[in-house]
Amino acid sequence: MRIAFQGTEGAYSEEASLKAFPDAETIGLPTFHQVFSAVSNHEVDLGVVPVENTTAGIINQTYDLLLETDLHVVGELVLKVDHCLLAPPGTRLEDIRKVKSHPQGLAQCDGFIARYKLEAEPVYDTAGAARELAEHPQPGLAAIASRRAAERYGLEIIAEGIQDFIGNYTRFFVLSREDFPRREGPYKTSVVFTTRHRPGELLAALQAFADQGINLTKLESRPRRDPDRPFSPIFYADFEGHAEDPGPSQALLTLLRRASFVKVLGSYPAVTSWGLLKEP
């Protein structure tokens, strides 16, 4: 099995992929768009992309690409992310003036960066920052990445667990061209929808789930990418159950009648639920 992820060898996305599929061949690609394209074009079997983090929130680009493509979400993965400050061997913490990492990595370590008055420079990947530092070391420069990246690129861990929130988890979606066969156990479903701009429309849309006794585990909004309707919201929701189950299917039918747009992203075995974390 070939799995595409965004980043370089040693990235958190690769770590999550191998945790779930230990025998897979992982293929690192520079952008999320290339990951989606690789899956769509049959270049790989699956894609693994981050969708949200407990510290920094959702990954907007992932949701944008889910809207733009016909790929299915067939699984979710959860990885505890412990960020490390990496530098060439012999570097001292007081010598470091600048740090590079993915924007999410920088955001998740904002307190540490501020405490040590470091200049932060975003790059496309945490592991990529580590590899670049190993290949082109500069005085005063460090990277924020994983312990795995430090081992892979021969860097020294100057500080470990530097994220602002100790319970720093990233949730990933597994992408496929086709749905996976259903298996035993609890499921979740992810859906995207918009409502008409009238009082009570969002309440009516959500009431469809309450009427069927369905628990929502996620509800988030952001502005649509629509030049004709700036700041018009689009809603992302996760709920417990499979879209083909009687209750969820009835709720989705009601949502289709009440909403102006609905897209089911996929139903998949549940790893996370409301206030509960189960690592696979």
Q: Which of 8, 26, 170, 217 is catalytic?
A: 170
Q: Which of 172, 193, 209, 235 is catalytic?
A: 172
| 165 has catalytic annotation | no
**Distance, CA of 242 to CA of 188 (rounded, Å):** 6
| 170 has catalytic annotation | yes
DSSP assignment of 186-199 equals -EEEEEEEEE-SST
- Look at residues 15, 69, 67 and name the one whose alpha carbon lies nearest to residue 41: 69
- Look at residues 215, 197, 198 and name the one whose alpha carbon lies nearest to residue 206: 215
CA 250 from centroid of its chain's CA atoms: 29
Active site residue ranges = 170, 172
